[in-house]
Structures are given as C-alpha cells and as structure tokens.
Structure 1
Amino acid sequence: MHFYHPLTHVYILQQVFNYLETQKDLYNFTLVNSQWNISSSPCLYRAPKPSTPNALEKCKQTLVHAKEKRTFLAYNEMVREWIIDLSIRDTEIDCLIADCCPNIEKFSCSSEIKNANEYPTLAINLIKHWKGLKSISLYHGSGNDTTLESISTNCAALEELILVNCKTTDFGFGEVVKACKAIKKIRLVQCTEITDESLVAISKLCRYLTHLDLKDCTNFTDKGIYVLSNPTTTRKLRTLSLEGLNIKDSLLALAEHTTILHRLSLKKLENLNDEIISTFGRNSSKTLKQLRIYSCRKVKGWGIKEFVGIEDLSLLMDYINLKEFEEICEYCNAIENFTLDVRRIIETNHTSDIVVAISQLKNLKSLAIFCGRNFSDDNRRLLERSCPKLRKINF
C-alpha cells in the first residue's frame, strides 16, 4: 500500500523553504534528494548575492551552463532579483545577468556606495532587458532623468519605485507615473529636485497607490500635500510615512481622507499635533496596526488613544504627561509591541506609576521603555505577572 506523505509534495516544500533566509541552509537542502532540490532551488537562486571572487565565478559559470541547458534545472530562469553591487565593481556579472536571466522582477543599485555617478548607463542597459520588472530601487547618481525615462519606456508592469538621494526632476518622475499605470508603492528619500509637481502627478495618475513614503524632500510644500489628500488617491493607501517635510495645515487634510491605513509613521514634523493624530486615529481606528511618532515637538500624547486597534506602538518624544500615558495604555489595550523613548514623564517621580500603567496591556509581548528611570527587578516581575504574554523587556 502506498502511504502519501505531505513532505514529498513539491508545493508544500516550497512554502516551507520560502520562510528560510540563510543561503547555506537552502544549499544544503538541495543536496537531500531530487525533490528537495527542485523545491529549494527557486528560493536559493531567486536573489544571488556572490560576495567573494570564487562565489562570483561560480555564479557566472552556473548561469551560463543553465542557459545552455547543461544543468539539471534552469537556474538562470529562477533568478528574480538582482542588485548592482558597487563594492564588487564587476560589470561583467551584471551584463551576464541581463543576458542569461530573462525573468528579473526586482532590480536595485547598491545603497552602500554613494559614488554611483558612473552607473546610470549600466542601469539603463540592464532595465532594457527586463520587461517584467515590478520593483526598481535607485540610489544616488544611478537615478536621474535618463534612467527614469528608460523605466517609463520599458517597465509598464512596474509596481514599486524607490528613489534615494537621486538627482531626478519632476519631468523624469512624471514620465514614470504616466507610463506605469499599475504602480502601488512609491518611496522618495532626499530627492531635493522633485517638487509639488510630482505630488500632483501622483494624485492624478496613481490610482492603485497603497504605500507612500516621503522623506527629507525639501521642495514639498502644503500645496502638494493638499492635492495628494484627495479621496481618489488616499482610498487605497495602506502605508503612509512622512519625515522631515516642511508642511503645516495640509497634514490635517491628509488625515481626514485616509481611512484604511495599516501603518503610519510620522517623524520630524514640526507642525504635527494631537488634533492631526487624533484625526488619523478616528478615521483608521479599525485598520491601523502600527504607529510610529518620532521627534514631533507639538505632540503631547492625548491624540494617540484614538488608535484603539494598534498592535505596534513606537514613540520618541521629549516628554509625556502621566495621565496621557495612562490613557494610552487603557484605551490601546491591543498593543503587542511597545517602544517608549522619552526624556521625562511629567507629574510622577515614581517608576511604580509607569509600571502600573503598562500592566494594563494584557496582550503585550515586547516592551522597550527609556525615560531616565531605573526600573527594579520587582517592577519587572510585576509586569511579567500582569502581562502573561510578555517575553521581551528592555528598560
């Protein structure tokens, strides 16, 4: 009689292997038997990262042989992600990837080397080979208007665009959002030559936008954020991250029109206040699970209690009132991960008051709190008794 064992099923094995990140483990699994080889190889070869000269040569050889059908599996067709690693400085491997691997979906230029000005041409040549690209990340000199023009011409299926410290302008960015109708995620970091015109383009053309991250883009103003706040743009927005922007009243308009946020990160916004936070909380109270507020001086804390379904809360503040802190712990009782970094908690000189407030969080699993106080072993034991799920404490 034949007994069916689920671990012999290729599909189930692949689901298990997808959770592994260590390349060494995946390589060892390819040696078990033919079924494990077939199941783990797509995970192993999905994003090759040769870090030594020997590994680089072996990677080249494997890809060439796979293209020539001299290997057991088509390893070259399994490659889905590629990073131009400027520390290796070997353009041969990049050209080889373009020639041998037709199914690249995710492409990025290394963020570790800032002097990437000689690489735009290489990036353009690579992008032309991959019509199915869904994610592109460009850092420093590798991202300019010429690069973005190539993206707009060749990458109609693009879903994610990340630009970090790039010298692109509104023209190049506008060409991308015009051509890439399916774009869902946009991240702009330190793109100082992009202005409100790009935000207008996003509001008009990005109908499927779910993730928006704007950081240290100094030419963004209230005018652009107001345009971005229309319901057509914000209706599908799941993740919103704003940092270091010189904006004022438009924050409230944005809060009023975002209704299904899952993650919200607000950092270094001088004009952020509790009214705006409270508005975000009321509109997304049923969906929002992660909230991060860092270095926003006008925030006192009372608006945070609107986030009744929050599970991950991280606050970096100058101070917070004990009463507001107690109300946060009372109303936001679904919190599982809590990080509080404040200089002082007003109206109390006793660590026991802080511990009693935190002990209301029955679902708490991880706690990190820094407020210039020394917490004793008794405080720790009280929290462990009050919060049965708590496994990690950092005072």
Structure 2
Amino acid sequence: MSHAVVVGGGIGGLAAALALQQRNWAVTVCERAPSLDPVGSGLAVAANALKALDVLGVGDAVRALSTLRGEGGIRRRDGRWLVRTTEEAAAARYGDSVVLLTRAALVDLLAEHLAPGTLRLGTEVHAVDPDTGRVSTGAGELTADLVVAADGLHSAVRRALFPDHPGPAYAGVTSWRLLVPRGGLPCPASETWGAGQVFGVLPLAGDLVYCYGTATVPAGGRADDERAELLRRFGDWHAPIPRLLEAAGAGRILRTDLYSLATPLPAFHRGRVVLLGDAAHAMTPYLGQGACQAIEDAVVLAHLADRPDGPAAYTAARLPRATRVVRASDTLCRITKLRNPLAVRLREAAMVLGGRLRPDLMLTAADEILRWRPPV
C-alpha cells in the first residue's frame, strides 16, 4: 500500500488525506498544533467545491447546513443594491448555490471521516526531502511515496522547494472577521462596497452571522480595540451592520493582513512533494475561493496520485486554473480598493448598468470557476 504524509491539518490537508484514503492510500497527517482549532470564522463553500466534497462523501452533510434563501449581492454603504441574484438562480445554473458555515464545522466534518490514527496532532515537520520522501518531524522520521504540503500561506515546504520565489505579496488590505449572534435581525447575504472598504454579512446556521470587513491600510497595523475600530469605519453604514458590530465580542475579532501569491510558482511539485491550497496558490478572499480551490486540489491529486507521473500531472492539471483564480481575485481586490469619489461613483454606475443589461451578471462572471467538475 502506498503511503502519503500530509503536512498541515487545515481544510486542504484533511481533504487531501480523505481523498487519498478513498484511493486506498495509507495516510499520516502531521499537524503542529495540539488541536484542530482552525484560524478564521466563516467560510463559503461554492458549487465547484460542493461537487468535490461529493467525491469525498461529505457534500450532502455540508449542504444540510445551508441557510441561504432569497436574494443576495453587492450593496452601497447606504444599503441600495448595486447587483444581486438569488439562491434559486445560482442553484439552477450550477446545480448548487453556496453553503455558508464555520471553518470549524467543515474541519470537524472532514476529520471525522478519516481512518483512526491518521491525524497526529502536536507533530511539527522540520524538513522534507523531495527526492526520497523522508519527512523529519519532532516525533521522528517518516518515509512517504507522496508528501502533500498543505502548510498554508507561509509554507516552509514551499520556501525549501522554491527558494528563489518571492513568496506572498501584501494586497494592500487588512481584514477583520467575526461571528455575531443574529438576535432576530434580518441579515440577507450581502457584501457592501464603500471607498476602499468592504463589509460582508453572511447568515450561518445556529442563529449566527459571519461578518467581515476590509480596508486599504498599511500592513502590520493594530488597534487597541478592534471593535471600536470597526464601529469607527462602518458604524454609519446601512442596517444591520451597526447593530451587528455593537453585538460583537471585542476580544473575538480576528484581524489579518491579506496576502496572495501574485507571482505564480513554476510548479506545484518537486520530486515526491506536492503543494496544495494556500501553500501553492494563496489568494485574496474576494471570490470566496481559497478553501474551495484547496478542496479541488485534494480531489484532483488523489485522482492522479497512482500514476507514475502523478506529481507532474497534478501540476499540469491545477497550476493554470489556480493561477487564473488568484489573478481574478486580485483584480477584484484592486476594484474594491478604489477610494477616489469619482472612481467609486463610476464603479457603482457600471455595476448597476451591468445588472440591468444582464440580470444574471453576478453568476455569468463566475462561470469558469463555478462550472468546474471533478475528474472522473
């Protein structure tokens, strides 16, 4: 039986482990944290990733958590809709809409489906040899036919494989993420665009709302009170944004600068090692595709892993698509960063006009991404 070592127990790493086990691989997942406590709050699982999760046998369990109903889209800070669609229209076009859930819920679901003994928590990987598949950890040495590096944005494995690559680039934007009790407030799924700022409101199961904000600021900034900072920036925006922020726990707001691999890697593999998820193609969150692309990676990798040229075939299958998604997300990021009042008005007018000319504009713009299907 072939053996794979997965470095990292996030969504991408767990999905890869599960996909490989379904192909009769023995898998060891090395996660340096002592518990599976995923960084982040909420997560959007779009139609392409739901199809991949079907391959893993957990798609319907994720769909059962869906809370989306009716309209959603992009708004102005005064609440007026700029462009919108409906859950029903998305489902009709792609066979699925989008499921909003917490990262913890998806991590737990994937972990529950792994074979007993797969996951080794508190196990840090110190070095990986791409030629031999040797993996040095704090608990000893492992040897693998395939090593899956799913060790995130600041991947140590990526730096070792491609030392001349410039690495992640700051997108010029910081983000805040938080989970807030809904408290009976009407919270349609929406993203509101202002001058260089964005605020998202996404309803989750269990009377929770996932909120996120972004602002164009220098990297490394912090506020003594991040809740007060959010109220300063978004407190006069349309309902229910101010009340959601007032209900937020001040100590439970996650602030993160946004980075992407704006310069693509030359390959997603070297020798027996493949890169997956953010380690391979970190992207800004504006398309909601970071985790979705990692799940796609996992399914495609497992499909190709038994081939003699499996790692190279994986690069050929995934690098072009992931690069396009990274660039599309970076483009959207640049559009949201517009701060000049005239540029903002022109952006809003173009979105309104586009929505009138093409009522399905929000969907058709994402066709290439959302029409993806897993390999058969």
Q: Do both proteins adopt the same fold according to a TM-score greater than 0.5, normalized to the shorter chain?
A: no
Q: Which has the higher contact order (CA 8 A, sep 6+)?
A: 2
TM (norm. structure 2) is 0.21
Structure that is richer in strand per residue = 2
Higher Rg of the two aligned structures: 1
TM (norm. structure 1) is 0.20
